[in-house]
Amino acid sequence: MSLQSEFADVAFAGGRAALITVVRGTDSVPVGAKLLVRADGASTGSLADDALESAARGDAEELIWLERSELREHGDVTLFVDVTGPPPRLVIFGAIDFAAALCRVAKAAGWRAYVVDPRSRFATAERFPEAEAVIAEWPAEALARLGGIDKATYLAVLTHDPKLDDAALLASLDSDAPYIGAMGSRRAQAKRRDRLVAAGVPETQLERIAAPIGLDLGAMTAEETAVSIVSELIAVRNGREGGRLSASGGRIHEVGT
């Protein structure tokens, strides 16, 4: 099977990988040489140069999780890193009514939303039809069922129950999640912080929590608040602050060159 076919199979199966192709080579690195790198680091193929392959693996590891295909230059060699991966995941802790609005907006934006809540009477598929799955388990067990937290898993804690909030955060803070957001007033945030400190959570981990959750849009309704949260997720995913384009400089759309 060709590397292109292997790459297509990964994409069809909803997997994550990068196919690296030499598009400008040298006498020792031929144009068209390919290297397929999977999310777990396994690889197939060769670029005919150990140092170049090492650099290319670094490109792949970065871009696989950014879900972005780019040209990359290494000396006299230019590589095209073609990336495939499933849409990012949003794990929502708390089967509250507002979570349904968040599932709807996330799905419209192309994200896969999952709802987690150990209260089975609330955590039902009927209440969250836009969710990929509704899991009636405690956070740690639910995350294990989802295969753990990777660099494309974003987390939103929506409950106002300390038992559930704290369990979700304790299961999430020591992870590769690029975003952990928590809903609640500033007073509720301060109380939550005190509880986590008492539980032994270090300051560096507490700083990972985006709280209050979402961008400052002046949102009032559940749908507006959901837009605020998904907007923050998109901004974080793309390395942006989320301000108004009319007040910013530079290029509107960052395109790899």
User: Model confidence over 222-239: pLDDT tens digits?
Assistant: 999 999 999 999 999 988
- How far, in Å, CA of 136 to CA of 141, rounded? 10
Q: Is the peptide bond before 87 cis (omega within 30 degrees of 0)?
A: no
- How far, in Å, CA of 14 to CA of 224, rounded? 31
Residue 247: the pLDDT is: 72
Average pLDDT over residues 121-137: 97
| 249 — pLDDT class (breaks 50, 70, 90) | low
Tell me the percentage of the chain whose pLDDT exceeds 70. Answer: 95
H or E element: which one contains 151?
none
Tokens of 243: 């301000």
| 256 — pLDDT class (breaks 50, 70, 90) | very low
* Topology adopted by domain 89-237: Rossmann fold (3.40.50)
Domain ranges in the chain with CATH number 3.40.50.720: 89-237
Residue 253: the pLDDT is: 57
Q: Are 167 and 201 in contact (CB under 8 A)?
A: no
Tell me the percentage of the chain whose pLDDT exceeds 90. Answer: 82
pLDDT tens digits, one per residue of 39-88:
988 999 999 999 999 999 999 999 999 888 999 999 999 999 999 999 99
